[in-house]
Amino acid sequence: MLTVYIGYDDREQVAYDVLVHSIEKYASKPVNIQPIKYDTLKAKGLINRPLVNVGGRYYDTISNANAATQFAISRFMAPVVHLEGWAVFMDCDMVLQDDIYKLMEELDPVYAVQCVKHDYIPKDSMKMDGQIQENYHKKNWSSFFAFNSSHPSMLKLDQWKVENWPGRYLHGFGWLTEDEIGPLSPGWNWLVGEQPKPETLYNAHFTLGGPWFDNWHPQEFDYIWSAEFMSYSNALNS
């Protein structure tokens, strides 16, 4: 069974629930879905890295940089706690549009990590939900990535590095060499509003925000998320 870890932010409960529903809706087989919750990891002693809330925005004191979500850094505990085989990490502001198991067709054990290798600069300095749009090397590579815990180089990532490395090194998979980071088809991490829609779409990433936020201004591709929200709502009420 494939395990999918999802970054959890309590400001985005609905987005998380809709993503979970979309994964299960399209999956051809059962999926083991695990939330990455900062507070839960902290309670278990798995992360003690400070995450400061300043005026409704999170700040990572070690990186000396803003953190857009509660799981900006804690996502990297997923490969630490997952001990064997392939698994996936996803941001919560996504919705699946196809079977997650199709991802397995692209995975190659020669790699430790595989992701969509975006090469872009964000259009704006602010996200539409009011969060600061940080720019860094390999931006959004770590928002959706498959990782192979059976690859020996994954053992180089440990709790100490997650606790102490600046975010730019973690988000750049700094414990790996470049040839250990493999590609995925662009449709696995389409950045909605930032890139043209791919011909084959597996996963829509609402990286700028989405209709689950208050005071959201309607955007061109909102219908994708709204359709999955409607499907989720119908399933709850059936």
Q: Domain total for the chain?
A: 1
Instruction: Supply 174's token pair.
Output: 């700094």
DSSP state, residue 188: G
Q: What is the CATH number of the domain that holds 99?
A: 3.90.550.10
The whole-number pLDDT of residue 134 equals: 52
Per-residue pLDDT of 59-74, as tens digits, reads: 887 778 888 889 999 9
The length of the chain in residues reads: 238
Instruction: Supply 87's token pair.
Output: 């698994």
pTM score, two decimals?
0.91
* DSSP-derived 3-state class of residue 86: strand
The whole-number pLDDT of residue 122 equals: 58
| Beta-carbon-side half-sphere exposure of residue 216 (alpha carbons within 13 Å) | 14
Q: Classify residue 71 as exposed, middle or buried by CB count within 10 Å of its CB (0-12, 13-18, 19+).
A: buried
**Domain span holding position 121:** 2-237
Residue 164 and residue 62 in contact, taking contact as beta carbons nearer than 8 Å: yes
Instruction: Supply 170's token pair.
Output: 């973690």
The whole-number pLDDT of residue 123 equals: 58
Q: Are strands 2-7 and 181-183 parallel, antiparallel or unpaired?
A: unpaired
The whole-number pLDDT of residue 127 equals: 45
| Beta-carbon-side half-sphere exposure of residue 122 (alpha carbons within 13 Å) | 16
Per-residue pLDDT of 13-35, as tens digits, reads: 999 999 999 999 999 999 999 99
Block means of pLDDT (10 residues each) for the chain, 238 residues, are 96 96 98 96 92 80 82 96 96 98 98 92 50 61 97 97 94 96 98 95 96 92 96 90
Nearest to 169 by CA among 193, 134, 136: 136
